[in-house]
Amino acid sequence: MKMLVIFEKTPRLRHIGHLDLMRAMQRALRRSGLPIAFSQGFNPHVLLNFAAPLSVGMPGKREIMEVPLDKGVCEGDFKKMISRALPPDLPCIAVRSVDDRHPAPMASLTAACYTAEFEHLPENFADTVSAFLEQKEIPAIRKTKSGMKPCDIRPMIHELAVEGNTLSMTLSLCEKATCKPDLLLSSLFEFAGMERPNALITRQQLLGGDAPNFMPLEML
Amino acid sequence: MKFCKGESHLNKQELMQLEQLLEQVQKPARYIGGEMNAVQKDWDKVDTTFAFCFPDTYDIAMSHLGMKILYHLINLREDALCERVCMPAADMADLMREKDVPLFSLESRKALNHFDIVGFTLQYEMSFTNILEMLNLGRIPVYAKDRNDTFPIVVAGGPCAFNPEPLAPFIDAFMIGDGEDVMNELIDVIRDGKKQGLTKMNILRNLAKVEGVYVPALYDAAYNEDGTLSSFTPNDPAAPAVVKKRVVKDLSAAVYPDSIPVPYTEIVHDRMVLEIMRGCTRGCRFCQAGMLYRPVRERSMDRLLELADKLQQSTGYEEMSLSSLSSGDFTCLPELISELMKRYKEKRVSVSLPSMRIDNIVKQSLEETQKVKKSGLTLAPEAGTQRLRDVINKGVTEEDLIRAVSDAFESGWSSVKLYFMMGLPTETDEDLQGIGDLARKVVRAYYAMPKEKRTKGVMVTCSASVFVPKPFTPFQWAAQDTIETVHEKQAALRQYLKQKCVNFKWHESHLSMLEACIARGDRRIGDVIYTAWKMGCRLDGWNEHFKFDKWLEAFEKCHLDPAFYAYRERPYEELLPWQFIDAGVSQEYLKRENEKAKAGAITPDCRHGCNGCGLQKWHVCDFVENPPLKDKPHRAEVAN
C-alpha cells in the first residue's frame, strides 16, 4: 500500500531546495518507525515521491508526497507517527491511504493555485487584471530544459483575481504546459507598465482533473 | 508577512530586511535554523542566555561535535538556554552590514548583543578574524576593555584556548580543558553575579576563581628587549598564577547528546557522531590533540549502545561515525562494530570509522563497515622514512602501511589517501624522496593482488601539509621552515610524486606560516589580528578570502616580525606565553621528548607502561599503574 501525505512547507523553510527537502523527509520517515520501503542496491534509500517540486523560495500550504509502505498501517496511526517525526516547520496536515495501483500523484497533476502577497498594490489593480485577461494571446518566453521558448501563456491561466494586496491565481502545472507564477507576474506587470514589486508567492493547492472542473489532487 | 513560527526577536524592520537579504545570498539555507531537534526555549522563562558561536560558516559549524555536546548540556538546564550563531559567508556579512541587520541566532533570530554570554569555540587559529567579525556584526565592541556591564560576557574554549594569549585582548574569560566539565560552573557564576547586580569586573573576578578559567584582564605580561616574554603575573588576588585544565574523569557519566539538530542543507560531516574515546596514548610528537586531550578515557559499551540507539531514533541519520583520535585503540572496537552493524542492518544505517591508525586497522572492521556503504580509505604515515617517523614518534612502519593497504585493496578499495607533513624537525631531501618511494610501493601493492581480486582504477592521493609547531607538544620550541624552503621542498616533492596512478596535493605555505605565528603568539599578536581584520581579513581559512599581503602589512603596522614567531627556535629557558597553563603534561616531559626526537629514539605507547608525562599527579590516568618498560622495546612490539 501507499500513503499520500499532505504537508505544509512553511515560509521559514522556503529557501530549502527540493533535494534537501527530500532528504529531510527521508530522515523523518526513518525517525518515524513506520514500515517504510527502501530502494535496492549498494546505497539503499527511503522510497518516496513528491507530486511536484517546489521552487526554491516558495512555501507550500498543501504539498503532497507519496510513501510506499512494506506493511499496512491505518491512516490514524500513520499520521500520529509521522507527525512526531516531522520538524515544526514541515507539519503533516492529512494523510490518505491508497492501494498500490493508485496512479502516482505526479501523473494526475494538472494545475496549482498560488497566492502572491504584495506589500501594496494600486487601488485599481483589479481593472488592470481584467484588461490583462481580455487579451486573446499573451506571448511570453518560457525557460525549458531545451532553452528559452516563446509561447502563449493565456490558455494556461485559469484564474487570476485580486483581493486587497493579494493576487490569487490558478495556473497549468503539468509536463505539457507549465506556467510558473513568476512568469505570469513578470508578464502582468510588464502589461501594467509597472516595475514588479516584491511579493511572497505561496503554492496553496495542487490540482488534478481538467479545467474548469479542477479537484484537489489528494482527493482524486 | 509572518515568516517564522514562534516569535521572532529581530525587530520588524530588521526581519523584513533579513528576508530580502535571504533572496540575494548564496545558500540561504545556512541562515534559517528551524532544524529537527533544534531547541527553541522561551526567553522569558530562563535566567541566562548563551550564544554558542562557531567562527566559521554553518556547514562547518554544524559538523563540529563540541558544539553539539555543549548545546545539549546548556539546554538541559531549566534556568538557561543555548542558541547557535555561525559566521555568515562574505556575501551575507556584507549585506547585513549594508542593510543594518545584526548577527542573529539560528533559533530565535535574536541579535548577538542580547545574550548574557557569548561563547566562541576555538578550533583553528585561522578562524580568529571571524571572531572579531562576528562580534562586530553582533553590535558588540571587539576589545574586552571597551565592553561595559551592558554587554554580554564573551568567553571562549576549545583546543586553541590552550594558548589564549593572541585572543586575550578580545575575550573576557577562557575555559581551559574539557568544556562539559566547566560550563555549568561558569554559567552559575555569571547567573549569580547578574542576580546580585555585580559589575562585569567582579563577575570576572569570581570566574577567575573557578578551576580551569583564565581571565586575561587579571594578568600582566612584560617583555625583554629582544621581544621575548620576561614575566607573566596575576595583577589581582582572585587570579591564580597557574591555570589548570579541566578534565572529565568519567566519560561514560559525562553529558552527551542523545539528540542533535539535523540540518536541511548538506554540511561537511552530515551524520551522527559517537565519540567512543577521548585522548590518545600514542605520543606522536607533533600532535597537539594527543597531548591536550590526555588522559585516555573510553566510553563504556553500554553507554555507547544506549547513545547510538537514541541518536538513531532522534535523528534518522543514515550514517553513524565512531569518533576519537585513534579509534583502533578502543578496547572493544570489534565487539562494538559488530553489535552496531547487527542492530542497524535492517534500518540501513552504515557505520564509518575515521581516524584509524595504520598499524591496527582490523581487517574485519574494514569489511564490516563497508557492508552497507563503502567510503574512501585515508591513512597517515606522516613522514617518508623510518628515521623521520621515529623522530616524530609515529610508531608505524613501512610493513604496517603495506599490510594495511594490501588488506584494503583485497577488501575492494581502490583509492587510498596518504597524509604527510613536510617541514618536520630534522627533515632532509631523503625524507621527501621517501614519500615518493612509499607512494610507489603502495601502487605496487595494488598490482601485487591477483587481477580478479582488484577493484578497477587504483588511485593513490598523497597530501602534504606544512608542519606547524604547536604549544604543549615536544616541538613547541622548534622553528618552522621558511616559506622559501617550503616552496623548494614542494617543488622537489612534486617531482618525486610524478608517478602513474599517484596524485599530489599540497597546502598553502603562507597560511601555515601565519598559523604558526598565531599558534605560538603572545598578547601582542592580538593587535595584529585586529589590524588585519580592520584591513578586511576574515574567513582566512577560505582560499578565496585569504589575503596574505594584508596580514604582512598588519604585522608591519604593529612593529612585529612574523619570523620571530614562526621561524625562531626557542631556548628551553625562554618563558613561553602559554606556560602559565597546566595542561597536565609537564614541560620536563616535553623537553625529554624533544631530546629523544633529536636522537631519533622512540617512546612507546603508554598503555604498555607509564612514560611519566605529568598526568600521574592528577590521578586521572588509567595507565599510571602500568610499570614503566625497563628495556627499550623493539619497534614491532610497540606497534602491537
Cβ atoms of B336 and B276 within 8 Å: the answer is yes
Each residue's pLDDT tens digit, B69-112: 999 999 999 999 999 999 999 999 999 999 999 999 999 999 99
pLDDT-derived band at B426 (thresholds 50, 70, 90) equals very high
Mean pLDDT of B159-166: 98
pLDDT-derived band at B373 (thresholds 50, 70, 90) equals very low
Residue B502 one-letter amino acid: V
Using the predicted structure, report yes or no on whether residue A47 has a pLDDT greater than 90: yes
Task: Determine the residue among B7, B10, B12, B36 to mutate to test chain A binding: the one whose Cβ has the most chain A Cβ atoms within 10 Å.
Answer: B36
Nearest CA in chain A to B37: A87
Residue ending a domain, choose from A78, A102, A126: A102
Domains B12-244 and B376-517 agree in fold:
no
Mean pLDDT of A63-88: 96
Q: Which long-range contacts (CB under 8 A, 24 or more apart) does B188-191 make?
A: B190/B48, B190/B116, B190/B117, B190/B153, B191/B47, B191/B48, B191/B79, B191/B80, B191/B116
B598 near A CB under 8 A: no
Domain shared by A7 and A89, yes or no: yes
Q: What is the pLDDT of residue B358?
A: 61
With CB atoms and an 8 Å threshold, state whether A27 touches B315: yes
Partners of B25 on chain A (C-beta within 8 Å) are: none
For residue A57, give the CATH number of its domain.
Answer: 3.30.70.580
Determine which of A199-213, B4-18, B272-286, B536-550 has the lowest per-residue pLDDT on average: B4-18
Q: pLDDT exceeding 90 applies to what percent of chain B? A: 80
Using the predicted structure, report yes or no on whether residue B457 has a pLDDT greater than 90: no
Domain shared by A190 and A116, yes or no: yes
What values do phi and psi take at A199, rounded to 5? -150, 150
Q: What is the pLDDT of residue B218?
A: 98
Q: Does domain B376-517 have CATH number 3.10.20.30?
A: no
pLDDT-derived band at B361 (thresholds 50, 70, 90) equals low
Q: Give the gap in angstroms from C-alpha B396 to the nearest C-alpha of chain A.
A: 34
Partners of B266 on chain A (C-beta within 8 Å) are: 20, 23
How far is CA B189 from its chain centroid? 27
Q: Which of A12, A31, A38 sits opposite B3 (nearest CB)?
A: A12
Q: What is the pLDDT of residue B272?
A: 95
Domain shared by A147 and A186, yes or no: yes
Nearest CA in chain B to A117: B1
Task: Report residue B21 as a C-alpha cell.
Answer: 537579504
Higher pLDDT, B359 or B425: B425
Q: What is the pLDDT of residue B365?
A: 61
With CB atoms and an 8 Å threshold, state whether A24 touches B4: no
Using the predicted structure, report yes or no on whether residue B500 has a pLDDT greater than 70: yes
Nearest partner of B288 among B470, B543, B512, judged by Cα: B470
Domain shared by A147 and A95, yes or no: no
Indicate the average pLDDT of chain B.
Answer: 92
In chain A, the DSSP E strands lie at 2-9, 49-50, 60-68, 92-98, 109-118, 139-144, 147-152, 157-163, 166-172, 199-208, 215-216
Q: What is the pLDDT of residue B377?
A: 79
> Alpha-carbon distance A198 to B602, whole Å?
68
Each residue's pLDDT tens digit, B167-212: 999 999 999 999 999 999 999 999 999 999 999 999 999 999 999 9
Residue ending a domain, choose from A59, A76, A102: A102
Q: What is the pLDDT of residue B16?
A: 81
- Which ipTM value was assigned to this complex? 0.91
Q: pLDDT exceeding 70 applies to what percent of chain B? A: 93
Nearest partner of A57 among B29, B215, B338, B167, judged by Cα: B29
Determine which of A112-121, B347-356, B560-569 has the lowest per-residue pLDDT on average: B347-356
Q: What is the pLDDT of residue B529?
A: 98
Q: What is the pLDDT of residue B638?
A: 40
Q: What is the pLDDT of residue B355?
A: 62
Each residue's pLDDT tens digit, B312-327: 999 999 999 999 998 8
> Cα angle vertex B111, ends B108, B115, to 5°?
85
Residue ending a domain, choose from A79, A102, A125: A102
Nearest CA in chain A to B263: A24
Each residue's pLDDT tens digit, B553-591: 999 999 999 999 999 999 999 999 999 999 999 999 999
Determine which of A176-180, B155-159, B253-257, B619-623 has the lowest per-residue pLDDT on average: B619-623
Cβ atoms of A182 and A201 within 8 Å: the answer is yes
Q: What is the pLDDT of residue A215?
A: 95
**Helices B548-557 & B509-519, crossing angle to 10 degrees?**
40
Nearest CA in chain B to A34: B347
Using the predicted structure, report yes or no on whether residue B639 has a pLDDT greater than 50: no
Q: What is the pLDDT of residue B3?
A: 40
Mean pLDDT of B336-347: 91
Partners of A24 on chain B (C-beta within 8 Å) are: 36, 262, 264
Q: What is the pLDDT of residue B51?
A: 98
Q: What is the pLDDT of residue B404?
A: 87
> Alpha-carbon distance B74 to B157, whole Å?
15
Q: What is the pLDDT of residue B310?
A: 97
Mean pLDDT of B357-366: 61
Domain shared by A48 and A6, yes or no: yes
Each residue's pLDDT tens digit, B221-259: 999 999 999 999 999 999 999 999 999 999 999 999 999
Q: Is B627 helix (H, G, I), strand (E, B) or coil?
A: coil
B317 near A CB under 8 A: yes
Nearest CA in chain B to A27: B316
Q: Is A102 helix (H, G, I), strand (E, B) or coil?
A: coil
Using the predicted structure, report yes or no on whether residue A15 has a pLDDT greater than 50: yes
Residue B523 one-letter amino acid: R
Q: Which residues pair with A163 in a beta bridge?
A: A166
pLDDT-derived band at B372 (thresholds 50, 70, 90) equals very low
Cβ atoms of B361 and B378 within 8 Å: the answer is no
Q: Which residues pair with B52 in a beta bridge?
A: B84, B119
Query: Other CB atoms closer than 10 Å to residue B623's CB: what's the count?
Result: 18
Q: What is the pLDDT of residue B2?
A: 36
Q: What is the pLDDT of residue B6?
A: 40
Q: pLDDT exceeding 90 applies to what percent of chain A? A: 86
Q: What is the pLDDT of residue B356?
A: 67
pLDDT-derived band at B629 (thresholds 50, 70, 90) equals low
Those residues whose C-beta lies under 8 Å from the C-beta of residue B580, and which sit 6 or more positions away, are B219, B232, B241, B242, B243
With CB atoms and an 8 Å threshold, state whether B348 touches A29: no
CA atoms within 13 A on the CB side of B176: 24
Q: What is the pLDDT of residue B363?
A: 61
Q: Which of A13, A23, A198 sits opposite B34 (nearest CB)?
A: A13
> Alpha-carbon distance B318 to B311, whole Å?
11
A21 near B CB under 8 A: yes
Domain shared by A127 and A210, yes or no: yes
Q: Give the gap in angstroms from C-alpha A137 to the nearest C-alpha of chain B.
A: 32
Those residues whose C-beta lies under 8 Å from the C-beta of residue B403, and which sit 6 or more positions away, are none
Residue B2 one-letter amino acid: K
Using the predicted structure, report yes or no on whether residue B635 has a pLDDT greater than 60: no
Which of residues 156 through 185 in chain A touch B, CB cutoff 8 A? Answer: none
Q: Give the gap in angstroms from C-alpha A72 to the nearest C-alpha of chain B.
A: 18
Using the predicted structure, report yes or no on whether residue B631 has a pLDDT greater than 60: no
Each residue's pLDDT tens digit, B22-34: 999 999 999 999 9
Task: Determine the residue among B62, B310, B348 to mutate to test chain A binding: the one whose Cβ has the most chain A Cβ atoms within 10 Å.
Answer: B348
> Alpha-carbon distance A94 to A80, whole Å?
10
For residue A126, give the CATH number of its domain.
Answer: 3.30.70
> Cα angle vertex A7, ends B68, A170, to 5°?
135
Mean pLDDT of B386-402: 93
pLDDT-derived band at B364 (thresholds 50, 70, 90) equals low
Cβ atoms of A112 and A205 within 8 Å: the answer is yes
Distances (CA, A) of B439 to A99, B384, B454, B462, B481: 57, 9, 18, 7, 24
Domain shared by A149 and A97, yes or no: no
Q: In this structure, are strands B117-121 and B153-157 parallel, antiparallel, or unpaired? A: parallel
Domain shared by A98 and A156, yes or no: no
Domain shared by A97 and A122, yes or no: no
Domain shared by A113 and A205, yes or no: yes
Structural domain containing residue A10? 2-102
Burial bucket for residue A64 (CB in 10 Å: 0-12, 13-18, 19+): buried
Q: What is the pLDDT of residue B370?
A: 55
Task: Report residue B326 as a C-alpha cell.
Answer: 585513534
| Domains in chain A, number | 2
Total length of chain B? 640
Nearest CA in chain B to A40: B348
Q: What are the extents of the domains in chain B?
A: 12-244, 376-517, 604-639
With CB atoms and an 8 Å threshold, state whether A28 touches B20: no
Q: Is B277 helix (H, G, I), strand (E, B) or coil?
A: strand
What number does CATH give the domain B12-244?
3.40.50.280
> Alpha-carbon distance B171 to B169, whole Å?
6
